Amino acid sequence: MTSQSIEQSGPIRVERDGDILQITSDSPPVNALGAAVRDGLEAAVKAGVADSSITAIVLRCDGRTFFAGADISEFGKPLQGIPLPTLVDLIEASPKPVIAAIHGTALGGGCEVALGCHYRVAVPSAKLGTPEVKLGLLPGAGGTQRLPRLVGVKAALEMIVLGNPVSAKAAADMGLVDKVVGEDTLAADALAFAREVAGTRPIPRVRDRVVAPDPAAVETFRKTHGRKLRGFDAPEACITCVVAAAERPFEDGLAVEREQFMALMNGNQSAAQRHLFFAERKAAKIDDIDPATALRAIGRVGVIGAGTMGGGIAMNFLSAGVPVTIVEMQQEALDRGTGVMRRNYEASAAKGRLPADAPDKAMALLSPTLSLDDLADCDLIIEAVYEDMSVKKDIFTKLDAIAKPGAILASNTSYLNIDEIAAVTKRPGDVLGMHFFSPANVMKLLEVVRGRQTAPDVLSTVMALAKKIRKVAVVAGVCDGFIGNRMLMPRQVEANKLLMEGATPEQIDRVHVAFGMPMGPFQMADLAGVDIGWHRDPSRIENIRDALAAEGRWGQKKGAGFYDYDEKRNPTPSQRVAEIIDEFRAKEGATPRDISDEEIVARTLYTMVNEGALILEEGMAQRASDVDVVWVYGYGWPVYRGGPMFWAQSEGADKVVAGLERYGFPVAKGLKTGEAFK
């Protein structure tokens, strides 16, 4: 390249190559469109337009990505610099063609900047998308009006309302990208492209295009995705804007977009979703460990147990290209477990979620064995057998003798004491908990349990590995049930007490579903199995759950649990369960009374918040936002409520405290002092 006269102003660099002006942003880590970037772009574009020797402008970014969006950390603060929509309009109004040269991820405002440009070229690995909906927002810099004009209503709905990015090739197929260029020659190819189009008149502007309304596509979209989007405000606002793009002139559509965007931006849901965006990233940081700590190399992982949990855990690593040795006690169980894994992969490939050769590739990395001794060359060994302390101690004693020095030894326990397990080894510093959630190959959450003696580099290594296998990891301390299951306990206890006092399973579940949970406590019991944890002694009936289990009402799998189920597993309230509850009430002399929904909220949700505050007080979680991440990613707490601690704060701590006091619960100090929200 023969570039001349390089000028740098803040994050924006401007250089000439003959009659083409190249504008490059260098704003790590992701070239977010903060005020300095926007102002620099404005000045550079204006300079290019004003310079009569320039015939076209190329816009690109240094570093790992094209603009990944507006700067989310600026939201909710007073606006500084040129607004992004104005900048996009300014680019589009340029009388000289502007070409976006895209690598990495052109997301949100980044995609909107590209849409304001007159042409878009991209490398094959680039991705383009409008993920604002995942932040409870919509593309607010003209994206809802320009994207449908370029790709049609159907494709725009998919991109804007679901928020998933598309590949450069898919973008080219739908008309969003004009040319896919060489992976390693973006700058040169973009310049060459700019020379080709420099003289084109009229300049193609997306705003001048017309898109036909497509009510059928809107209806099909709603039918297909309505359930998944239940409770969220942003998807409906996105649909309104896309419909406006097809039905109204460009400027009117922009006005609709602005109004909808501001309503979302000022609402609670977006605040909750933006909170989670940063919470998820903060969770990866360990307060008292130097981020530069050298990590241990993990070349091979061992998994003990090829049941549902062990198999799911192993799949995470195989999918990430890490070889796994999996151990079972019996050949039959080993074959069954590896068979399930293969079938899971094949089902995903059949649905097009994985390339056709992915199942073979993943399974080729798996070494099944019946011998623990084969774990000797593993760098990380995860035990995933059933929850019994003596069994776990026995395994860790054996592992201590087998594992190579420096290997990390992890237990997948969901509540047992990691320190007690570590104590049977001569290397407690190498031991920690890795609590996966079922199905382990699907659920995003990983609770990483830090034992009293867990070494800093062991913890850091596992947190980094979690990112590699695409989990959201949260550090928890050693306590019964860690963060997630510990908070489940008060909810369960209170839900059962409420039944005795007069509530029905349907009422309690309804309140939880209306709140936004995927299901209520009794629906969850029926799905997981009412018999889980049952002592299997039909003569010992201590509570309603025992009574159900003793009658074979084990939940959905038996067609009966807290509800009756038809052959399609549709639930109906059960007369028999009502009788069992009545019998228990009579036995305990309980007189049923009317229970309000508000009481259910206070006793089953505020008590969880209270437990979260205790967890923080005891130092079992690093920060309130970690508790939120656990409940959102592990238990289906509604994303738009930001997690239990965020929700409590937005409800008002005073209200939560008053609710807890009204029903006689001792209130955690942190809820009164505000410490519970830090």
Closer residue to ligand 3H9 (CB): 108 or 312 = 108
Kindly state the smallest distance separating residue 124's Cβ from ligand 3H9, in Å: 17
The residue among 83 and 518 lying less far from ligand 3H9, judged by its C-beta, is 83
- DSSP letters of 144-167? HHHHHHHH-HHHHHHHHHH---EE
Q: Minimal CA–CA distance to 437: which of 396, 471, 467, 465?
A: 471
Nearer to ligand 3H9, 163 or 670 (CB): 163
Q: Give the one residue of 92, 132, 189, 383 binding ligand 3H9; rule: CB under 6 A.
A: 132
Question: What minimum distance in Å lies between the beta carbon of 107 and ligand 3H9?
Answer: 4
Please, which residue, 115 or 653, has the CB nearer to ligand 3H9? 115
Q: How far is the CB of 228 from ligand 3H9 (least distance, A)?
A: 19
How many C-alpha atoms does 28 have within 13 Å on its Cβ side? 2
Interacting span for ligand 3H9 (CB under 6 A) from 101-109, 325-333, 380-388, 458-466: 101-109
Let me know if 112 is a catalytic residue.
Answer: yes
The residues, ordered by sequence, that sit 6+ positions from 248 with a Cβ below 8 Å of its Cβ are: 256
- One-letter amino acid identity for 458? V
For the CB of residue 385, give the shortest distance to ligand 3H9 in the complex, in Å. Answer: 33
Catalytic residue list contains 251:
no
Query: Minimum Å distance from CB 161 to ligand 3H9?
Result: 14
Applying CB under 6 A, which part among 69-77, 93-101, 369-377, 415-423 lies near ligand 3H9? 69-77
Q: Alpha helix locations (H) across 560-617?
A: 575-587, 597-601, 607-617
- For residue 33, give the nearest of 58, 8, 59, 14 by alpha carbon: 59
Q: Which of 81, 97, 116, 131 binds ligand 3H9 (CB under 6 A)?
A: 131
Q: Which of 37, 45, 59, 72 binds ligand 3H9 (CB under 6 A)?
A: 72
* Residue 112 near ligand 3H9 by CB under 6 A: yes
Q: How far is the CB of 209 from ligand 3H9 (least distance, A)?
A: 20
Q: Taking CB under 6 A as the rule, does residue 69 contact ligand 3H9?
A: yes
Q: Give yes or no for a contact between 61 and 25, defined as CB atoms under 8 angstroms apart.
A: yes
- Taking a C-beta distance cutoff of 8 angstroms, is the pair 647, 624 a contact? no
| CA–CA dist 79, 614 (Å, integer) | 38
- The β-bridge partners of 409 are 381, 431
Q: Which is nearer to ligand 3H9, 73 or 200 (CB)?
A: 73
**Candidate residues 45, 70, 446, 616; the one interacting with ligand 3H9 per rule CB under 6 A:** 70
Q: List 298's β-bridge partners, or say none.
A: none
CB of 226 to ligand 3H9, least distance (A): 23
User: Where would I find the beta strands (DSSP E) of 234-306?
Assistant: 301-304
Rounded (10°) CA dihedral 246, 247, 252, 254: -30
Nearer to ligand 3H9 (CB atom), residue 312 or residue 642: 642
Question: What is the C-alpha separation between 76 and 83, in angstroms, rounded?
Answer: 14
- The nearer residue to ligand 3H9, 69 or 561, going by C-beta atoms, is 69
Q: Using CB under 6 A as the criterion, what x/- string covers residues 16-35 for binding ligand 3H9?
A: -------------xx-x---
Q: For residue 101, give the 3-state DSSP assignment.
A: strand
**Residue 97 to residues 16, 118, 196, 293, 335: CA-CA distances in angstroms?**
15, 6, 11, 48, 61
* Residues 254-313 close enough to bind ligand 3H9 by CB under 6 A: 281
With binding defined as CB under 6 A, does residue 140 bind ligand 3H9?
yes
CB of 131 to ligand 3H9, least distance (A): 4
Between CA 632 and CA 616 the distance in angstroms is 17
Strand 105-107's sheet: what is its strand order?
Answer: 105-107, 127-129, 166-167
Please state the φ and ψ torsions of residue 109, each to the nearest 5 degrees.
-55, -30
Count the site residues for ligand 3H9 by CB under 6 A.
25
What's the distance, Cα to Cα, between the start and end of the chain in Å? 52
> Of 92, 132, 280, 328, which one is the catalytic site residue?
132
* Catalytic member of 112, 447, 506, 611: 112
| Residue 415 neighbours by CB under 8 Å, 6+ apart | 387, 480, 481, 482, 485, 486
463 is an interface residue for ligand 3H9 by CB under 6 A: no
Q: Is 241 in the site for ligand 3H9 (CB under 6 A)?
A: no
Q: Judged by CB under 6 A, does residue 109 bind ligand 3H9?
A: yes
Beta bridge partners of 120: 100
Give catalytic residue positions.
Answer: 112, 132
Binding region for ligand 3H9 (CB under 6 A): 29-30, 32, 65, 68-73, 84, 105, 107-109, 112, 131-132, 135, 137, 139-141, 143, 281
